[in-house]
């Protein structure tokens, strides 16, 4: 069990361990996903997720934390302006959450002189943790 205390600017406790506690109920690794070339999202809908069944998970009493296990090693973004990026999760109902490891963005197609949409995937190895709040 874990707890936290927070104080306002007048040193009055506004949140304490008697207000709530939480415990980790699940932990896993999210493998990296790097797709070598983006695909046109105007031509299809992408809904794939990496699914995890979390015993005891309920969106009304749990929260999910996704943390990259490695970061860019320099001030210059060596991976370009589009990544790597941290995946996010979706509640899929019941005790299942889905991790989304891609994004949508637009690029300018100079030969056709128009913006086109695309799907991109470039996520690092991440830790997935699920906590239940009491």
The 10s digit of each residue's pLDDT in 19-48 is: 777 899 999 999 998 887 777 777 778 889
Question: Can you give the three-state secondary structure of 81-119, one letter per residue?
Answer: CCCCCCCEEEECCCCEEEEECCEEEEEEECCCCEEEEEE
d(CA 7, CA 12): 5
Flag whether 37 is in a domain. Answer: yes
Residues 68-123: pLDDT tens digits?
Answer: 987 655 554 554 555 678 899 999 999 999 999 988 888 888 998 988 888 888 88
Q: Answer yes or no: is 96 within a domain.
A: yes
Cα separation, 43 vs 38, in Å, equals: 12
Residue 117: predicted pLDDT: 85
In a domain, 35, yes or no: yes
Among 42-51, 60-69, 72-81, 124-133, whose mean pLDDT is lowest?
A: 72-81
pLDDT of residue 83: 61
Q: What is the mean pLDDT of residues 39-65?
A: 89
Beta strands in 1-134 (DSSP E): 6-7, 13-15, 22-30, 33-34, 39-40, 50-53, 62-68, 88-91, 96-100, 103-109, 114-120, 122-123, 126-133
Residue 52 domain boundaries: 25-71+82-129
pTM exceeds cut of 0.85: no
Bigger pLDDT: 55 vs 70: 55
- Judge whether 20 lies within some domain: no
Question: Residue 6 falls within a domain, yes or no?
Answer: no
- Give the model's pLDDT for residue 18: 75
Domain membership flag for residue 95: yes
In a domain, 92, yes or no: yes
């Amino acid at each position: 069990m874990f707890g936290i205390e927070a104080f306002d600017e007048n040193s009055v406790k506004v949140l304490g361990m008697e207000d709530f506690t939480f415990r980790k109920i699940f932990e896993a690794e999210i493998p990296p996903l790097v797709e070598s070339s983006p695909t046109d999202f105007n031509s299809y809908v992408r809904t794939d997720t990496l699914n995890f069944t979390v015993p005891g998970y309920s969106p009304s009493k749990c929260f999910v934390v996704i943390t990259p296990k490695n970061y860019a090693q320099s001030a210059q973004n060596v991976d370009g302006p589009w990544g790597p990026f941290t995946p996010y999760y979706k509640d899929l109902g019941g005790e299942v959450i889905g991790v989304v490891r891609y994004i949508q963005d637009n690029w300018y197609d100079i030969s056709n002189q128009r913006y086109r949409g695309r799907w991109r995937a470039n996520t690092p190895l991440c830790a997935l943790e699920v906590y239940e709040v009491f």
